[in-house]
A and B are shown apart, each in its own frame.
Chain A
Amino acid sequence: MKKLINAAENLVREALEGMQAAHADRIRVSLEPFYAVRRDAPIAGKVGLVSGGGSGHEPMHCGYVGHGMLDAACPGQIFTSPTPDQIVEASQAVNGGAGVLHIVKNYTGDMMNFELAAEMLRAEGLAVETVVVDDDVAVEDSRYTAGRRGVGLTVLMEKLLGAAAEERATVPDLKRLGGLIRASGRSMGMALTPCTVPQHGKPSFALADDEMELGIGIHGEPGRRRAKLASADDVTTMLMEPILGDLPFRSGEDVLLFVNGMGATPLIELYVVYRKAAQIASQYGLRVTRNLIGTYITSLEMAGCSITLLRLNEQLSKLWDAPADTPALRWGYRH
């Protein structure tokens, strides 16, 4: 294992200390327990948006704390959901009197810890609601699974709900909007290489030079199946087809196309994927009116990518264009 770390057990803390040093103009970091909040939190009359999950997905979630996105993020250990005490404290710290909304990815651990935290907060009289993200088409949603995983759509959810909360949408408004986004977005990912959880020290799986994993999540795990490595165009087709078939997307619709790197894939390759994905979308009759290309939700140093497609309407397009000023996503903001 070759990594830029001091000690595996201090990794999350030291990264948070680094974020605090770098972004003190935007965020405030708590180290006991771990969480990051907007520097100007709590904001009176604004719903507090709180998300969180395991570390190792950077820039998600702490990188999305700031104006126009999250009010707070709770990082757990690497690939391990945060604990209820973190979520409770972060929620209290961003409660500006209009209630709190939790954005939770559909993993058993995340769901349970956020549920426990919400129970504790409600017992103290704080109005808490939850929006779940479960956009991964690689997992069949049936009673025989834990349901679909929350992956790429999480970033878009945080941006869109963040913009709406900034415009003083209420908790019920945000919950409804979150439901619409959840119903309108689908993702799928693939890996070229595994990643190494620092404490474990070994790669999460082994892949030959001519193999890839299709249908991965964001925790270094193998995917739904292993396949022979194919060209970028073929891989893109393998990801796009299940996405397009699942919703289904209809000809004439406006969509946001998000091509995301898993951590170690360079932007030049992501653009090659974007090129083909946009061609397929257009053959399908979709109008790609918004996009996002880059490394936004990762699985440590895994190489590979994920594609997310989100059906847009006028409201969602406007929310997407609204200003954001966070460590990792920033546009349209005048200082």
Chain B
Amino acid sequence: MTEFTLDEARLWIRAAADLVERDIVRLSELDTAIGDADHGFNMQRGFYAVRKKLEVTVSEDLGSLFRLVGMTLVSTVGGASGPLYGGFFLAMAKVTDGKACLEKDEICTALAAGLNDIKRRGKAEVGDKTMVDSLSPAVAALESATELCAAFRAAADAAKTGAEGTIPLEARKGRASYFGPRSIGHQDPGATSSWLLFEALASVCQRAAEKEHLSY
């Protein structure tokens, strides 16, 4: 795969919705330990709404597709995750308007724009035990490979490592920060759902690559 097209973007969002659906209980259980037990359900409600919107909407370009995803998440997820993930996709939309496919550096720029929006809105940095702990290494890892699929795989792996790396951290942002030292020893639910987003990206790419391979 050399380009990221509208079709792949749709598959990405659907794959993310599938992973969120699969992990509702896991995400909510992580959130029970250091939050309020609703992260899985909120994410599921949001991505279910996105899935329904995608079924009935034809997006002409990536910008309008990402804008639809962002607006839908903002108005259905609630909590901090709604504005944060919604903002992530709205920021991606701003830099992909009018484009039907993206070169590797363009999709990397878009994902970085998404990450920056989350950092700005959430005022969080790496080490605060938030989504940023998996998103930031993931975006950095995109640079480690020139080929798109390899880059996405590296990003997903880095996101997973980042999410698991939140376990020993004391939360400094979000509701988990109210627990102080009691937040240590638990994996951050937001960092975990962020990893799922990149895992979805890698899985779509893999599927596309396999399809290409089969058609030869």
**A residues lining the B interface (CB < 8 Å):** 33, 54, 76-85, 107-109, 112-113, 115-116, 138-140, 144-146, 149, 197, 199-200, 202, 204-205, 217, 219-222, 224-225
A108 CB contacts on chain B under 8 angstroms: 80, 122, 173-175
Chain B residue at minimal CB-CB distance from A220: B36
Could you mark each residue 53-82 of chain B with 1 if its beta carbon is under 8 Å from any beta carbon of chain A, else 0?
A: 000000000000000000000111111111
Q: Is the CB of A149 within 8 A of B178?
A: yes
Given contacts A112-B121, A197-B37, A221-B36, contact A77 B78 (CB under 8 A): yes
A109 touches B28 (CB 8 A): no
Q: How many residues of B contact A (CB 8 A)?
A: 32
* Overall SS of chain B's interface: helix
Residue in contact with A200 in the complex, picked from B32, B74, B179, B180, CB distance below 8 Å: B32
Q: Which chain A residues border B175 with CB–CB below 8 Å?
A: 107-109, 146, 219, 221
Q: Which residues of chain A are near B45, meaning CB under 8 Å?
A: 77
**In this assembly, does B109 line the interface, its C-beta being within 8 Å of a C-beta of chain A?**
no
Closest to A148 in B: B178
Within the complex, what minimum Cβ distance (angstroms) separates B166 from chain A?
15
User: Could you tell me the distance in whole angstroms from the C-beta of A31 to the nearest C-beta in chain B?
Assistant: 15
Give the distance to chain A from B45, nearest Cβ to Cβ, in Å: 8
Within 8 A of A (CB), among B29-44: 32, 34-38, 41-42
**B83 close to chain A: CB less than 8 A:** yes
* Chain B contacts for A219, CB-based, 8 A: 35-36, 175
Shortest C-beta distance, A189 to chain B (Å), equals 12
How many A-B Cβ pairs are below 8 Å? Answer: 111
Task: Establish whether residues B36 and A79, one from each chain, have CB atoms under 8 Å apart when the complex forms.
Answer: yes
In the complex, what residues of B have CB within 8 A of residue A225's CB?
A: 182
Given contacts A83-B74, A145-B177, A146-B177, contact A77 B38 (CB under 8 A): yes
Among A197, A200, A204, the most chain B Cβ lie within 10 Å of the Cβ of A200
Give A145 to B183 CA distance when docked, in angstroms.
12
Given contacts A204-B36, A221-B36, contact A112 B179 (CB under 8 A): no
Contact: B80 with A200, CB < 8 Å? Answer: no
Q: Which residues of A contact B79 (CB under 8 A)?
A: 76, 80-81, 109
Expressed in whole angstroms, the Cα–Cα distance for A76 and B75 within the complex equals 11
Contact (A113, B83) CB under 8 Å given A77-B38, A200-B38, A224-B180:
yes
A224 contact set on B, CB distance < 8 A:
178-180, 182
Which residues of the other chain, B, contact A220 by a CB distance below 8 angstroms? 36-37
Interface of A is mostly: loop
Closest CB in chain A relative to B91 CB, distance in Å? 13
Q: Tell me the smallest distance from the CB of B86 to a CB of chain A, in Å.
A: 8
- A116 to B122 Cα, complex, angstroms: 13
Q: Are B75 and A84 in contact (CB under 8 A)?
A: yes
Q: Give the residue of A109, A140, A144, A146 whose beta carbon is less than 8 angstroms from that of B78.
A: A109
Query: In this assembly, does B172 line the interface, its C-beta being within 8 Å of a C-beta of chain A?
Result: yes
Residue B201 lies at the interface, judged by CB distance under 8 Å to chain A: no
Which partner residue on chain A sits nearest B84 by CB separation? A112
In the bound assembly, the distance between CA atoms of A101 and B174 in angstroms comes to 24
Q: Find out whether the CB atom of A204 lies under 8 angstroms from the CB atom of B74.
A: no
10 contacts between A and B (CB under 8 A): A77-B38, A79-B36, A80-B36, A80-B79, A84-B75, A109-B83, A145-B178, A149-B178, A205-B32, A220-B36
When the two chains form their complex, are residues A139 and B178 in contact, meaning their CB atoms are under 8 A apart?
yes
Residues on the B chain within 8 Å of A116, using CB: 74, 83
In the complex, what residue of chain A is closest to B41 when comparing beta carbons? A199
Complex Cα–Cα for A222 and B76 (A): 27
B10 CB to closest chain A CB, in angstroms?
24
Cross-chain contact B38 with A83 (CB below 8 angstroms): no
Given A108-B173, A113-B83, A149-B178; A199-B38 close (CB under 8 Å): yes
Instruction: Tell me the bound Cα distance from A85 to B75 in angstroms.
Output: 6
Name the CB-closest residue of B to A108.
Answer: B80
Contacts of A80 in B (CB 8 A): 36, 38, 42, 78-79
> Residue of A at shortest CB range from B34?
A221
A141: shortest Cβ distance to chain B, in Å? 11
Which residue on B lies nearest to A139, using beta carbons?
A: B178
Q: What residues on A are CB-neighbors of B82 within 8 Å?
A: 81, 83, 109, 112-113
